[in-house]
Every structure is written in structure tokens, then in C-alpha cells.
Amino acid sequence: MSDLASTTAPAASLDELEQAHADLVAAGLDLDLTRGKPGADQLDLSTDLDGIIGDDWMLDGVDTRNYGSLDGLPSIKAIGGRLLGMPATNVLAGGNSSLELMGRYLVHAHVFGVGGPDTAWNRGQPKMLCPVPGYDRHFSLTEHLGIEMVPVELTEDGPDMDRVEELVGNDHDVVGMWCVPKYANPTGITYATEVVRRLARLGQVASDHFRIMWDNAYAVHDLTDQPDYLESIFTEAEVNGTQDSVVQFASTSKITLAGSGVAFLGTSLGNLAAFRDHLQYFTIGPDKVNHLRHVRKLGGSRAIGDHMAAQAELIRPKFAIVQEVLADGLGDDGRHGHWSTPSGGYFVSFWSRPGLAGEIVDLAARAGVKLTPAGAAFPYGDDPDDSHIRLAPTYPAQDDVRRAMEVFVTCVKLATARADTTS
């Protein structure tokens, strides 16, 4: 939440706001705050990946140009282990997309069964718990596979654990749960240590095939010098003997190149062996040449930290602009809504007054600012309060972020003023 001293928005009449919006529509802007994509300046930090190999194609004694090494070679697995906080031996290094690995893992669990055909989720009426607001692509993937989604409130500390424990303990059709534990997409919160501990204990009461999909996409994406702390779920699961219940994911998509990074899956050795058995039917091995590039670039002990500090320098001003324009334009008295102030990650969440999110997104679209559709951060696109809007400021240039946010503020004020006159 915004921690500024309480202020009110500059006053404007409904007529003035309608006119301001009409002027914006006439201006024919074309701005986009929809997706969490790195800006070109961020990508420029990794252009040295091209050419980094020279003529030495060997990694860990293996010619990377050839087939093989289904789960990657030790040096790239070690980088995944650092991102996921677990030993390299528990990690699989895959292709360029962690979302694809998540999809493959779900197909493995849902269609084939993590412990053989009898354990396939699709033998029953599987349900996945979905902390909301959450990552829209988790939800569309789950829906695509025909798995029922059960929303659970995401609080400032993580998922509502009383509700999660009740659901997992009482209903063995609950086969899984999505988690984005650090700088969550889209609210930016990080799970509190006690929440991580309670999640790690779920495996003691859940069905044997229950899997927490621990998507740590923003593990090293700190924006401040006081980064959020995330307790290690791997360690907690070891303490509780529940290692099989947690499958972790990460990638370098938002470290190096969004379309040409390396994705990782980390889990218990038993789970990993079962997943490898599944994966071998789809590929002879990952892109080890790209693995080699990433080992050369990120393999040093300080390399990831230094690189992410340079990323933060580029992103931080854009997040500051979002906070500044919202605070200046809307005040902090909650009349027009409230918003998150994350210490890292890629997103800011805005909550309008209930019932206005769809209208605000439509108003912004007409004024030339594309926003993620209202409701996108909820299973089946259904935000019961019609209140949440995700803002993604990394991709546009700073001036465009400011312009887009000013338009957004006008749209929030207009929708709120219209609601005031009709209530």
C-alpha cells in the first residue's frame, strides 16, 4: 500500500473530467502498460551473450552443440540452484520458458500421473488453489487443461493460509496450488516466513499427488537496497519431509533476454526422475549452447547480483513515476482506490472502488492507453469486485510511463466521479 501521508486528490468537477478525457481521446495516444516485458535498455545489458562463446563450445567436458543431457549440465544447473535456493542436483535446466516447464509438469501430473497412471489428476475432479489476484497465464494454462480453479485471497503476507489448510485438508481433489512467492505478479508482495512454513507443511495432510507450483519468477528482482526476504521452501520442506509436494520454477527471462533465457525446474530427486521419464518423449535435450552462454555470463559468484543491480537502475525510475503520478493525482485518502508499492518485481496493483475496474480500463483504451483487461488476474477472468487493475511499467520509456499514468489517473477520477453522481 502507499505509505505516503494522507492527502486528497486535486478536485475537479465531473464536466471537467469528461472534457479532460475527451481531449485525451482526441490526442490519439498509443501507449501500452499491459505486459511485464523488459525494456530495450534492459535487454541491451545482455547483448554480450551473442559472441560470448567464441570457438570453445565445451561445457563440463561436453560439446554443447550436440544432442543430449536431458536435464542440463552441472554448471547451468548450479545457476538454477542459486535462483531456486537448492542443490544443483535437484534442478533441471530446460529451454527458454519456465511457463512451458510448468505446463509440461502439469501435463505430467494431470494426464500421466506423478506416480504412474493411477495417480493422474484427471482420474478425479482435480482442483487447483489460485491465490488472487495472481498471474493470468497460470490461470489460462490451468483452465486449458480443464482443471477447476479455486480462488484464495492473497493477503499482504501471502495466501490466506487458514483457508488453504481447510481446503487442502478436507478435499483430496485439491491436487495443487499456484504460488508466486516473491514480488508476486501482480501485487508485488512477498510471502512471510510463517506462510512459507505453513505451505511446506501442507504435504503432510494433502494427497500424495498434491503439488505446490512454486513459481519464483522474481527471485532476484529487487528494486531497493532493502530487498524482501523469502524463506527457503526447500529447506522447510526438508524439515517436514514434504519435498515431493513442492516443485519450484524460475528462469532468466527477466535477467538476460526474455525470449532467449534459460528456464529451471527444481524439486525432490524422486519427482525429478519421474519428470525426466516424462520429458524424454518430447526432447532429446535442451539448448545447451544457450546454457553455455548463460554459464559464461552468469557463472561468476557476483555476476547475477551485479547484473540485477544494473537492471534495477533502469527499472526503479519507472516504478517511482508510477507511485508519484498516482499519489499526486489520486491522493492517499482511499477515495479513488489504493495501490501497491512493491520493493521488486515487475508490477504494481491498483484497486479501484468496487465496480469500476472494467470502466477504467475501457476509458483508458479509448484514450490510447492499453491496460491488462480488468479481471485478468483472477481465474476465469472474474474479479468479483471488478476492482483490480495490473500496471506494468517496465517496457515503455520513462516519458511514456508518465504520460500513460497521467491518462490512467484521469480515467480513475472520471469513473469515480461518474459513480459519485449516480449513487
Ligand X SMILES: Cc1ncc(COP(=O)(O)O)c(C=O)c1O
Binding site for ligand X (CB under 6 A): 36, 97-99, 135, 180, 185, 215, 217, 251, 253, 263
Task: Using the minimum distance from each CB to ligand X, give the nearer residue, 207 or 267.
Answer: 267
Measured CA to CA, the distance from residue 101 to residue 216 in angstroms comes to 13
**Is the CB of residue 213 less than 8 Å from the CB of residue 138?**
yes
Measured CA to CA, the distance from residue 373 to residue 362 in angstroms comes to 9
Q: Where are the beta strands (DSSP E) in 315-412?
A: 338-339, 348-351, 369-370, 388-391
Task: Using the minimum distance from each CB to ligand X, give the nearer residue, 36 or 159.
Answer: 36
CB of 136 to ligand X, least distance (A): 9
Give the residues across from 165 on adjacent strands. Answer: none
Task: Using the minimum distance from each CB to ligand X, give the nearer residue, 351 or 395.
Answer: 395
CB of 410 to ligand X, least distance (A): 27
CB of 330 to ligand X, least distance (A): 26
Amino acid at 88: A
CB of 10 to ligand X, least distance (A): 34
3-class DSSP state of 297: helix
Task: Using the minimum distance from each CB to ligand X, give the nearer residue, 368 or 375.
Answer: 375
Question: Strand 246-251 and strand 211-215: pairing?
Answer: parallel
CB of 5 to ligand X, least distance (A): 32
Task: Using the minimum distance from each CB to ligand X, give the nearer residue, 80 or 285.
Answer: 80
Cell numbers placing 106:
502439469
Task: Using the minimum distance from each CB to ligand X, give the nearer residue, 46 or 207.
Answer: 46
CB of 109 to ligand X, least distance (A): 18
What angle do helix axes 398-422 and 303-330 make, rounded to 10 degrees?
40
What angle do helix axes 288-298 and 74-84 make, rounded to 10 degrees?
60
Task: Using the minimum distance from each CB to ligand X, give the nearer residue, 217 or 322.
Answer: 217
Cell numbers placing 107:
501435463
CB of 352 to ligand X, least distance (A): 22
Measured CA to CA, the distance from residue 217 to residue 192 in angstroms comes to 17
- Alpha carbon separation from 288 to 57, 69, 291, 293, 391 (Å, rounded): 9, 8, 5, 9, 35
